[in-house]
């Protein structure tokens, strides 16, 4: 998902997306622990997505954009 697409989401949709991404990170970590994760780079990508979502939520709280 591109940043423009994420910015177009409403605040509720951002919160739902953040929750789903946290769940995805949990599942990836679980798969890593059980040696079922093939591509460990996925964890970094999901963490970056979480950071992006949190940044956009904070921008909206502060009224930056």
> What pLDDT digit, counting tens, does each position of 8-45 carry?
999 999 999 999 999 999 999 999 999 999 999 999 99
Mean pLDDT of the 35-57 span = 95
Q: How confident is the model at residue 2 (pLDDT cuts 50, 70, 90)?
A: confident
The DSSP code sequence of 8-63 is TS-HHHHHHHHHHHHHHHHHHHHHHHTT--S-THHHHHHHHHHHHHHHHHHHHHHT
Helix (H, G, I), strand (E, B) or coil at 8: coil
CB distance 21 to 53 below 8 Å: yes
- Indicate if the pLDDT at residue 1 is higher than 80: no
Q: What phi, psi does 2 have (nearest 5°)?
A: -80, 160
CB distance 45 to 59 below 8 Å: no
pLDDT of the residue at 21? 97
pLDDT of the residue at 51? 97
For each of the domains in the chain, give its residue range(s) and CATH number, in order of start: 3-62 (1.10.287.310)
pLDDT of the residue at 65? 66
């Amino acid at each position: 998902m591109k940043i423009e697409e994420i910015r177009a989401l409403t605040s509720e949709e951002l919160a739902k997306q953040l929750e789903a991404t946290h769940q995805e990170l949990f599942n990836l970590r679980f798969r890593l622990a059980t040696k079922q994760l093939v591509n460990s780079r996925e964890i970094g990508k999901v963490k970056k997505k979480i950071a992006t979502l949190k940044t956009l939520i904070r921008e909206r709280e502060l009224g930056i954009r």
